[in-house]
C-alpha cells in the first residue's frame, strides 16, 4: 500500500504524516494583493496606538479607568451593549463574506495569516527561498547555519516583542509606556501582558503557522456550513487539466492525450498549508491564492491560457450561471442590515448621562419624628460628555415626599459623582414599600433628563 | 520544529486555544458589567489591589475553567471500541 501523493498523503496510513512545509515564494497578482493587505493591516496595527485625537491617544482602551476612547468618543462600561453589537456585526459580516467569497478572511485579513506572512518574509530574507531553506535545515550546524538561524530568531523575537508592545499600547498610553519601558519602571502586569502577547505572536506565526488553521481554528471547521454552490472558491479545473503529465516543450499535448496540467507541482510547493489543490476543495485551504499565481506563471511559460487554477464556483465549473441573490446571501445581508441599523440608531440615541440609584443597605428606614420616615440613597451620576454639567434632582411618587439634601448637583466633564441623598415621607403615606422616582434634569440649558425608579420603605402597615 | 502533530498534541493545542478564545470573550463580557474592585469589596478579602490585576486573574481563572471543563469532556467522551477486547487470561 505504498505511494504518496504530491501533498504528502501516504495511502494506507491512518494519519497524514506531515513533513515540514516550506512554502516557496510566489509572485503574481494575488501575492501582490496579499502583501498589500499585510502592509495595510500591520501598518494600521502598529501605527494605531500612536495616533492622537483631540490631545489624547485616539484609540485607548483604558481598562484601569474603565473607559474606552475611540476617536473622540468615550465609551463607558454602561455602553457595553455597543461592544456586544459590534462583535455580533463582525461575526455576521464574516458569515456574509464567507457565503459570497469563501475564505477571503483567512487568505488576506486573519491575524494568523498576516503575521505568518511577516514572519515568513523575515525567514526568506535571511535564509533564502524554499530550496535554500530545505538545504540549510539539512546542513550540519556550522558557523553559517548558526549565524543565519540566530539572526532569524533575533528578528522574530524583536518583531514579536514590538507586536506585544503595540498591543499593550492600546490599553496603556503608549508614549508613557515607551518611556517607562526604557527606564525599567513599567507596571509588572503591563510587562507580563507584553511578554504574553509577544510569546503568542512568536508561537503562532513563527512556530505553529498553518497548524493553527488546520487544527486549532474554529472558523476553519465551521466555514463549510456557510458555503454553497455559488461561493467563490479556489479550484483546479479538472476538466481542463486532466489527465496531467509532463510533456516536451512545443509538443502537442492533446495528441498525447494530456490535459493542460503539466504536473510541475508548483501549486503544491507554494501552498502554506502543504495541500494539493488538484485533489479538490479541502478544509485546510486558507484561500490565499498562492497556487493561482504559481499556476498562472507556469501557464504563461508553457503558452497555455491562465486560470487552470482560479477563483471560481462549483456551479461555474459545471457551466451554470452565477447567482449572487440567493436565500443564504439574502438572509445574511438582511440580518446584517438590521444589526447595523440598530447600532447606528442606538449610538445616535445614546444618553449623555447615567444615573444609578442605590438604596442604603444597612438601614431600611429611620423615623425622624415630625418630618416622617426617612430613607437614604446613594445617587451616582455619570457625565459621559466632555463638558461640565449642572443638574437638579427631584423626587416624586408619594404624597408629601421631600428631598432633604441639596438638590443641585454639579458633575464635571467625563466624571462620576456619588452623592448621599435622604428622602422623607410623612408617616401617613410611608407604610410598606412604594415605588418612587428620581428625576435628574440639567439646568445649564443642555436639556438632559434621566429618570430612575427606586423603592421607598416604611414601617409595615399593621404596626 | 516538528510538524507531525500527534492526536494528543492536536487535542491539547485545540483545548488550550479554544479555552483561551472563550476566556478572552467572556472576561470581556464579565468585566464590562462587573468592576473587579467591587468583587474584592464584596468578599472582604484583599485578593488583588488594582483593576489590572483583577482583569488578569479573572482572565486566567476563566481560561483554567474552560481548560479543565474541556479536558474532562475529552477524557469522558469515549469512542466506540472498534478492535477486539484484549483476551482475558484464564488460569
DSSP B22-77: HHHHHHHHHHHH--HHHHHHHHT--S-SSHHHHHHHHHHHHHHHHHHHHHHHHHH-
What average pLDDT does the segment B59-63 reach? Answer: 93
Q: Is A121 among the domain residues?
A: yes
pLDDT digits (tens, 9 = 90+) for A285-299: 888 888 899 899 888
Question: Which of A29, A34, A4 is closest to A16 using CA atoms?
Answer: A4
pLDDT at A427 (0 to 100): 85
B-chain CB neighbours of A215 within 8 Å are 5, 10, 13-14
CB < 8 Å to B29, chain A: 84
- Give the pLDDT confidence score for residue A14 in this predicted structure: 45
Q: What is the mean pLDDT of residues A451-463?
A: 78
What residues of chain B lie within 8 A of the CB of A207, using their CB? 1
Distance of residue A75 Cα from the nearest chain B Cα, in angstroms:
11
Residue A318 has pLDDT above 50, yes or no: yes
Higher pLDDT residue, A162 or A20? Answer: A162
**CB B13 to CB A66 under 8 A?**
no
- The verdict on B32 touching A (C-beta cutoff 8 Å) is yes
Cβ of B5 under 8 Å from any chain A Cβ?
yes
Residues 6 or more apart in contact with residue A330 via CB below 8 angstroms: none
Percent of chain B with pLDDT over 70: 79
What's the whole-number mean pLDDT along residues A258-280?
Answer: 85
* pLDDT score recorded for residue A227: 82
Q: What is the mean pLDDT of chain A?
A: 84
| Higher pLDDT pick, A373 / B2 | A373
**pLDDT confidence of B1, banded at 50, 70, 90?**
very low
More confident residue, A377 or A5: A377
Contact A66 B35 (CB under 8 A): yes
Collapse the DSSP code of B89 into the 3-class scheme (helix H, G, I; strand E, B; otherwise coil) and give the result: coil
3-state secondary structure chain A: CCCECCCCCECCCCCCCCCCCCCCCCCCHHHHHHHHHHHHHHHHHHHHHHCEECCEECEEEECCCCEEEECCEEECHHHHHHHHHHHHHHHHHHHHHHHHHCCHHHHHHCHHHHHHHHHHHHHHHHHCCHHHHHHHHHCCCCHHHHHHHHHHHHHHHHHHHHHHHHHHCCCCCHHHHHHHHHCCCCCHHHHHHHHHHHHHHHHHHHHHCHHHHHHHCHHHHHHHHHCCCCCCEEEECHHHHCCCCCCCCCCCCCCCCCCCCCCCCHHHHHCCCCCCHHHCCCCCCCCCCHHHHHHHHHHHHHCCCCCCEEEECHHHHCCCCCCCCCHHHHHHHHHHHHHHHHHHHHHHCCCCEEEEEEECCCCCCEECHHHCEEEEEEEEEEECCCCCEEEEEEEECCCCCEECCCCEEEECCCEEEEEEEEEEECHHHCCCEEEEEEEEEECCCCCCEEEEEEEEECCCCCC
pLDDT, position B86: 66
Any idea how long chain B is?
91
Cβ-Cβ contacts under 8 Å, B3 against chain A: 18-21, 211
Q: Domain coordinates of chain B in residue numbers?
A: 8-76
List the single best residue of B31, B41, B52, B59 to mutate versus A (max A Cβ within 10 A).
Answer: B52
Kindly state whether residue A449 falls inside one of the protein's structural domains: yes
Please, which pLDDT band fits residue A1 given cuts at 50, 70 and 90?
Answer: very low
- CATH code where residue A406 lies: 2.60.40.10
Assess if residue A316 is contained within a domain.
Answer: no
Distance CA A133, CA A117 (A): 16
Residue of A nearest to B1 (CA): A207
Q: For residue A117, is pLDDT > 60?
A: yes
Instruction: Give B31's contacts in chain A (Cβ within 8 Å).
Output: 63
Which tens digit of pLDDT belongs to each residue from A229-248? 888 888 898 888 888 888 77
Q: Which of A208, A242, A264 is the last residue of a domain?
A: A208
Of A25, A107, A156, A130, give the one whose Cα is nearest residue A311.
A107
Q: With contact defined as beta carbons under 8 Å apart, do A411 and A355 qualify?
A: no
Query: Smallest Cβ distance to A83: which of B32, B52, B56?
Result: B32
A191 pLDDT higher than 80:
yes
Specify if A226 maps to a domain. Answer: no
pLDDT of residue A17: 47
CA distance A444 to A251: 88
Number of structural domains (chain A) is: 2
Domain span at residue A431 reads 353-457
A209 to chain B: closest CA residue: B3
Q: How many CB atoms lie within 10 A of CB A296?
A: 22
Q: Give the residue-averaged pLDDT of A252-267.
A: 82
> How close is the nearest chain A Cα to the Cα of B91, in Å?
36
Rounded to two decimals, the ipTM of the complex is 0.70
| CA A33, chain centre distance (Å) | 21
Give residue A15's pLDDT: 46
Indicate yes or no: CB of B13 within 8 angstroms of CB of A216: yes
**From the candidates A215, A222, A274, which should be mutated to test the interface with B, based on the most B CB atoms within 10 A?**
A215
Q: Looking at residue A433, what is its pLDDT?
A: 83
Report the DSSP pairing between strands A449-457 and A415-425. Answer: unpaired
CB–CB contact A215 B53 (8 Å): no
| Mean pLDDT, range A251-275, rounded to an integer | 82
pLDDT tens per residue across span A380-399: 888 888 788 888 888 988 88
Task: Mention every residue, 6+ apart, whose C-beta is less than 8 A from residue A59.
Answer: A48, A49, A51, A69, A70, A71, A170
Please tell me the predicted confidence (pLDDT) of residue A428: 83
Q: Is residue B87 scored above 90 in pLDDT?
A: no
- Report the percentage of chain A scoring pLDDT > 70: 95
Mean pLDDT of the region A109-114: 88
Residue A216 contacts B where some CB pair is shorter than 8 Å: yes
Does the pLDDT at position A18 exceed 80? no
Looking at CA atoms only, how far is residue A272 from chain B in angstroms?
13
**Nearest CA-CA distance, residue A20 and chain B, Å:** 5
Mark yes or no for CB contact A216/B4 under 8 Å: no
Q: Is the pLDDT of residue A157 over 70?
A: yes
- Chain A positions in Cβ-Cβ contact with residue B13 (cut-off 8 Å): 208, 211, 215-216
**A18-22, A57-61, A158-162, B38-42: range with lowest mean pLDDT:** A18-22
Given a cut of 80, is residue A50 above it in pLDDT?
A: yes
Residue range A437-450, pLDDT digits in tens: 999 888 877 788 88
Determine, for residues A187 and B52 on separate chains, whether the beta-carbon distance falls below 8 Å.
Answer: yes
Q: Please classify residue A356 by burial: count the beta carbons closer than 10 Å to its beta carbon, then call 0-12 exposed, 13-18 middle and 19+ buried.
A: middle
B17-51 pLDDT per residue, tens: 899 989 998 888 888 878 888 777 777 777 777 88
Cell representation of residue A322: 452565477
Amino acid at each position: 500500500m505504498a505511494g504518496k501523493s504530491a501533498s504528502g498523503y501516504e495511502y494506507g496510513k491512518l494519519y497524514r504524516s506531515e513533513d515540514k512545509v516550506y512554502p516557496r515564494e510566489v509572485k503574481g497578482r494575488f501575492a501582490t494583493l496579499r502583501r498589500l493587505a499585510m502592509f495595510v493591516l500591520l501598518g494600521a496595527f502598529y501605527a494605531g496606538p500612536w495616533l492622537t485625537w483631540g490631545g489624547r491617544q485616539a484609540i485607548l482602551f483604558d481598562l484601569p479607568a474603565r473607559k474606552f476612547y475611540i476617536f473622540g468618543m468615550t465609551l463607558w462600561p454602561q455602553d457595553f451593549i455597543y461592544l456586544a453589537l459590534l462583535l455580533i456585526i463582525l461575526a455576521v459580516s464574516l458569515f456574509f463574506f464567507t457565503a459570497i467569497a469563501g475564505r477571503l478572511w483567512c487568505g488576506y485579513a486573519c491575524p494568523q495569516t498576516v503575521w505568518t506572512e511577516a514572519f515568513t518574509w523575515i525567514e526568506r530574507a535571511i535564509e533564502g527561498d524554499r530550496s535554500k531553506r530545505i538545504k540549510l535545515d539539512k546542513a550540519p550546524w556550522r558557523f553559517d547555519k548558526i549565524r543565519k538561524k540566530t539572526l532569524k530568531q533575533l528578528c522574530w523575537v524583536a518583531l514579536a516583542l514590538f507586536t506585544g508592545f503595540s498591543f499593550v499600547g492600546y490599553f496603556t498610553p503608549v508614549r508613557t509606556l515607551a518611556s517607562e519601558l526604557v527606564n525599567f519602571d513599567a507596571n509588572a502586569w503591563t510587562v507580563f501582558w507584553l511578554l504574553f502577547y509577544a510569546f503568542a505572536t512568536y508561537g503562532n506565526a513563527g512556530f505553529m503557522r498553518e497548524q493553527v488553521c488546520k487544527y486549532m481554528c474554529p472558523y476553519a471547521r465551521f466555514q463549510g456550513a456557510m458555503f454553497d454552490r455559488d461561493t467563490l472558491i479556489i479550484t483546479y479545473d479538472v476538466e481542463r487539466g486532466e489527465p496531467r503529465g509532463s510533456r516536451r516543450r512545443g509538443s502537442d499535448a492533446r495528441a498525447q492525450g494530456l490535459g493542460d496540467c503539466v504536473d510541475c507541482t508548483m501549486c503544491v510547493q507554494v501552498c502554506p498549508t502543504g495541500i494539493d489543490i488538484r485533489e479538490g476543495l479541502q478544509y485546510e485551504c486558507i484561500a490565499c491564492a498562492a497556487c493561482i499565481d504559481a499556476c498562472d506563471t507556469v501557464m504563461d511559460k508553457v503558452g497555455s491560457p491562465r486560470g487552470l487554477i482560479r477563483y471560481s464556483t462549483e456551479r461555474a465549473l459545471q457551466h451554470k450561471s452565477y447567482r449572487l441573490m440567493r436565500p443564504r446571501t439574502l438572509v445574511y445581508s438582511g440580518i446584517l442590515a438590521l444589526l447595523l441599523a440598530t447600532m447606528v440608531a442606538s449610538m445616535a440615541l445614546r444618553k449623555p448621562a447615567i444615573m444609578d440609584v442605590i438604596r442604603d443597605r444597612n438601614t431600611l428606614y429611620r423615623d425622624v419624628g415630625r418630618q416622617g420616615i426617612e430613607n437614604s440613597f446613594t445617587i451616582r451620576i455619570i457625565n459621559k460628555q466632555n463638558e461640565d454639567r449642572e443638574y437638579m434632582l427631584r423626587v416624586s411618587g408619594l404624597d408629601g415626599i421631600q428631598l432633604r439634601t441639596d438638590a443641585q448637583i454639579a458633575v464635571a466633564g467625563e466624571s462620576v459623582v456619588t452623592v448621599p441623598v435622604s428622602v422623607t415621607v410623612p408617616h401617613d403615606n410611608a407604610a410598606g414599600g412604594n415605588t418612587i422616582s428620581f428625576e435628574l434634569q440639567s439646568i445649564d440649558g443642555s436639556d438632559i433628563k434621566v429618570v430612575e425608579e427606586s423603592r421607598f420603605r416604611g414601617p409595615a402597615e399593621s404596626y | 520544529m516538528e510538524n507531525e502533530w500527534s492526536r494528543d498534541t492536536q487535542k491539547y493545542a485545540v483545548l488550550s486555544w479554544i479555552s483561551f478564545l472563550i476566556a478572552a470573550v467572556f472576561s470581556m463580557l464579565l468585566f464590562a458589567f462587573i468592576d473587579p474592585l467591587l468583587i474584592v469589596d464584596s468578599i472582604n478579602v484583599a485578593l488583588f489591589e488594582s483593576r489590572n490585576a483583577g482583569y488578569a486573574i479573572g482572565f486566567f481563572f476563566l481560561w483554567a475553567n474552560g481548560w479543565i471543563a474541556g479536558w474532562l469532556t475529552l477524557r469522558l467522551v469515549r469512542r466506540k471500541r472498534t478492535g477486539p477486547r484484549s483476551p482475558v487470561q484464564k488460569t
